[in-house]
Amino acid sequence: MNAIVTAVSRAKGHSFSKRNEPTIRLAAGLGVEGDAHQGEKVKHRYHAARDPDAPNLRQVHLIHEELFAELRDGGFDVPPGALGENVTTRGVDLLSLPRGARLRFGDGGALIEVTGLRSPCRQIDKFQPGLMNAMLGKDDQGRVIRKSGVMAVVIAGGDIRAGDTISVEWPAGERLALEPV
């Protein structure tokens, strides 16, 4: 199966969900144009309150569409953009990517670099009760699996739309596992 973008979303304000759009534009070093999390410095309210001068490692949020099918099987209704992601994907195992992996979209203009995992927060249960537990799992060694997507920074700007292909560029050297950012 080819890796593709299935939806793109953004929100001007700090709302939980983001509205689906026909196209979003990425700006190098900043994030999604017109999105509340756009900027060089951290914009997430919790992180900004702790250190407003920290670099923004959460410029773009991606979730794999396959998660929505898993959640539907558990009785939840979660459409693209509902969990605050900017880019919904299909056919790429986002959670297994190493830190520093790069994703190139469509004709090759837009390029992002994966910085870490998004940790599910209590707001998820306000969206749909019990959803936070469904967004967590355990691997064979008993380690927590955070299923709520990955975060990235924009390396090269460009437009992204549903139907764009996604190619993965692996980092050179040691492949470090993703950690929450």
Kindly report, residue by residue over 75-99, the tens digit of the pLDDT: 999 999 999 999 999 999 999 999 9
Confidence of residue 1 (pLDDT cuts 50, 70, 90): low
As a CATH number, domain 4-169 is: 2.40.33.20
Domain ranges of the chain: 4-169
Task: Say if residue 114's pLDDT is above 80.
Answer: yes
Please state, rounded to an integer, the average pLDDT across all residues of the chain: 95
Contacts 24+ apart (CB under 8 A), 10-14: 10/34, 10/35, 10/86, 11/35, 11/36, 11/84, 12/36, 14/45
Q: Which residue has the tokens 């979003």?
A: 24
Residue 81 gets which letter from DSSP?
Answer: T
- Helical (H) or strand (E) element with 70: helix 65-73
Per-residue pLDDT band at 120 (split at 50, 70, 90): confident
CA distances from 77 to 66, 73, 103 (A): 13, 9, 28
Which residues in 33-120 belong to E strands, given as ranges?
A: 60-64, 87-90, 102-105, 110-117
What is the pTM (predicted TM-score) of this model?
A: 0.96
Per residue in 14-32, pLDDT (tens digit) is 999 999 999 999 999 999 9
Cα–Cα distance for residue pair 76/69, rounded to 1 Å:
9
Above 90 in pLDDT, residue 107?
no
What's the pLDDT score for residue 179?
96
> Could you give the percent of the chain with pLDDT greater than 70?
99
83 alpha-carbon distance from chain centroid: 9
Q: Give the mean model confidence (pLDDT) for residues 152-158.
A: 98
What DSSP state is assigned to residue 69? H
